[in-house]
Amino acid sequence: MVRTVYSPEYCLQYLEQYASKEIFVIGLILGQSTESRENIIHLARTPDEKSSENPSETSYDSEKLESKTLLNVSEAWVADHAKHVTRMLPGGMFVQGIFITSDEDIFEDPNSFSKVKSVVNHIHKVMSANQYMFGDCTFSNERLILHMSTSTKVLTCKSLEVGTPAKITSIKPVEWKFLPKAQQWQRLDCYYEFDDVYPVIVKKSGISVKQQFQQILESAHKTIESSIMFIDGELKENTEVLEQILKKKKLPKTHSKVQHQELPKSMNVSLFVPFENSLPESVEYLECDGSIHFSGVVSSSVFMFPKATVGETIAAVKQDIIRSLASRFTMHCDALIDDNLLPEEKVCFNEPPRRVLVPVGSLYLCDYLFPGEAPAEALLSVRELLDLQITEAEVVCDVETPADTSEFDALDKDTSSEELLATPQEASQFMYITGIFFAMFVLIVSIIVHYYDAINELFSKFVS
């Protein structure tokens, strides 16, 4: 049977818009593969290399684009695009391949085809570098190549196997179907909570924030992989289909007085972690140099094809939490100036960017905002990386809230009061110095002193 993928119809207009301009465009195919069906959710043109270095300039400089051809596309650039876009995808969604609009037949012209292979394989290589990003679709290793000829407007789709020696590339035809109606998605939400305190052992793990985040990621991955998932409070068989669960639920209508169905289409996911023993059966005695409190939530919203199975859904939710954690950590660490867990200050605060949701078609992808960034920042990445225009009002910013300092103060209460507080600078680094508090104290005291003098004056006047 020929592999078939289903795509929203606006993707056709999207392709035609570029094809009709008779320009070469390369971009990514985003979608979800399940046993029951493969759905494409979006096509995202890879931004132009030069203009993206300077994102304030318009990237729609058609003059420049016209001069671009497939053969001078940088594989690394497209792969980088794929890397950034993956951060915006919820679990269960992947970069499924690439699309190209050009006048040559990329499948027939050997030079073009070898370039296509090279791009796809480069993406594969980059995406599989970080396992916690779940960039590389595990479902299959056949990537989609969608081509629209700028001259004939003919659409051809094939699949190409990645990660195999160049000579035995298998290429297969793929049927690409457009759905007139918007695809329905089953949304599943959860808030995964972290609240862990552990010692900093410099001798063992150093003082790198990056490394610390990596360790947190590794342990979170282990924990989440081992967790048991409930959908709407119930344990489901891996083979059950999401749609069926909903149907079953509707059956007992007798006491359907349950009014709190504000999110009628969304299912609640809860994860339970068994305690498994990975520690040695002994007491470890360690010299520690401080403590780490890692806390907060990762909000997770995944979108599944309603015919997807519970097993596929569980995998998607788990992927989503880890991918989101990995994305924030990478973004945070890329913006770090001082990769030091224990700087001069006694308390150090690392606040990675938080997740916001951005609408794409009938579902939501996500973006990350550093503390202090406005939702408008998300518009930029959506335009740059997804080639999509959305309005600020459409960005869902309240799935997570930035850490406020009052909470931080509360956390700090159990540590010594004379400590200096610091948060990373630049993107997310701010410094709070207890000196400020001290200054305020001095101010208050001086006001009282001042007032006292006034009283004294009054009093002495009265006496005299």
Partner 1 sequence: MSPRLKISNYVIERLSNIDTNETTGCLYGLMYDGTLLVVGLSLELFENEKNTYRQLLLNLPAEIELCGVVRFGESLTTGTTMKEILQDVDITDNPLVMIVNEKKEMKTHFLVHDKFEETKYEVLSTDEMWKQFLHVRLNTILPLTCEATISGVKNILQNKRKKIASGQVSFHVDGTSVYLFGVASDVGLTGTSTEATIGELVDSMSPEQPKKKKHNTNTVEIVPINLVLKTTKDILSDKLVKTAVKMMTTQRKPAFCISMPLRIDTLAIIHRNTKLLELYTVLVEAACRSLRLLESILIEQLGQEGIGDGAGLRLPETFHFLPQELGHFVTRVVPKAIPDESMEKERRLLHEQLGLPLNRPLFRRGNAYSDKTGGRLVNPHEAIPQQPLKPDVTVALVRGRYTYHHYMQDNFNDDGWGCAYRSMQTIFSWFRFQGYTTVDIPTHRDIQQCLVNIGDKQPSFLGSKQWIGSTEVMFCLETLLSVQSRIIFANTGAELQSYAHDLVHHFQTHGSPIMIGGGVLAHTILGVEYNSATNDIRYLILDPHYTGAEDLSTVISKGWCGWKNSDFWNKTAHYNLCLPQTKPAI
Question: Is residue 284 at the binding interface for partner 1, with CB under 8 A as the rule?
Answer: yes
> Taking contact as CB under 8 A, which single stretch among the options 6-14, 21-29, 290-298, 381-389 is the one that binds partner 1?
290-298
| Amino acid found at 363 | L
- What residues between 195 and 214 interact with partner 1 by CB under 8 A? 197-200, 209, 212-213
Out of 9, 175, 392, 407, point to the residue binding partner 1 (CB under 8 A): 407
Binds partner 1 (CB under 8 A): choice among 62, 398, 462, 464 = 398
Facing residues of 432 across strands?
Answer: 421
Q: Could you please report the per-residue DSSP string of 195-230?
A: EEEEEE-HHHH-S-HHHHHHHHHHHHHHHHHH-EEE
Length of the chain: 464
Among 33, 159, 183, 223, binds partner 1 (CB under 8 A): 223
Q: Which tokens belong to 116? A: 């296509």
227 touches partner 1 by CB under 8 A: yes
State yes or no: residue 281 binds partner 1 (CB under 8 A): yes
Least distance between partner 1 and beta carbon 30 (Å): 24
d(CA 334, CA 82): 17
Q: According to the binding rule CB under 8 A, does residue 171 interact with partner 1?
A: no
Residue 265 exposed, middle or buried by CB count within 10 Å (0-12, 13-18, 19+)? exposed
- Does residue 21 bind partner 1 (CB under 8 A)? no
Distance CA 349, CA 341 (A): 9
Orientation of helix 310-335 relative to helix 209-226, angle to 10°: 170
Contact between 396 and partner 1 per CB under 8 A: no
What are the residues facing 33 on neighbouring strands?
Answer: 38
CB of 293 to partner 1, least distance (A): 5
Interacting span for partner 1 (CB under 8 A) from 145-153, 268-276, 381-389, 445-453? 268-276
170 or 282: CB nearest partner 1: 282
**Quick check: 90 binds partner 1 (CB under 8 A)?**
no
Of residues 351-390, those binding partner 1 (CB under 8 A): 351-355
Under the binding rule (CB under 8 A), the answer on residue 331 touching partner 1 is: no
Place of tokens 């990660």: 163
Cβ of residue 307: shortest distance to partner 1, in angstroms? 24
- Which of these ranges, 122-130, 166-174, 372-380, 403-411, lies near partner 1 under the rule CB under 8 A? 403-411
Contact call for residue 279 and partner 1 (CB under 8 A) = yes
- Partners of 4 in the β-ladder: 175
Asked if residue 27 lies in contact with residue 116, where contact means CB atoms within 8 angstroms, the answer is no
Instruction: Please answer whether residues 84 and 331 qualify as being in contact, where contact means their C-beta atoms are separated by less than 8 angstroms.
Output: no
By the rule CB under 8 A, 426 interacts with partner 1: no
Judge contact between 146 and 98, C-beta under 8 A.
yes
Among 392, 419, 426, 453, binds partner 1 (CB under 8 A): 419
Considering the complex, what minimum distance in angstroms separates the CB of residue 206 from partner 1? 13
- Considering only 98, 133, 316, 347, the residue that binds partner 1 (CB under 8 A) is 347
Contacts with partner 1 in 38-67 (CB under 8 A)? Answer: none
Q: Pick one of 292, 358, 366, 396: the residue that binds partner 1 (CB under 8 A).
A: 292
C-alpha to C-alpha distance for 57 and 132, rounded to whole angstroms: 33
For the chain, the maximum distance between any two Cα atoms, rounded to a whole number of angstroms, is 109
Distances (CA, A) of 378 to 29, 151, 353, 389: 21, 35, 12, 11
**H or E stretch covering 66:** helix 62-66
Chain centre to alpha carbon of residue 299: 10
Q: d(Cα 263, Cα 304) in Å, to the nearest integer?
A: 16
Token pair for residue 250?
A: 């509707």
Closest to partner 1 by CB, 96 or 299: 299
- Rule CB under 8 A: choose which of 128, 141, 169, 270 binds partner 1: 270
**Nearest distance, CB of residue 205 and partner 1, angstroms:** 12
From 58, 111, 151, 295, residue interacting with partner 1 (rule: CB under 8 A): 295
> Would you count residue 334 as binding partner 1 (CB under 8 A)?
no
Which of residues 138, 291, 362, 456 is near partner 1 by CB under 8 A?
291
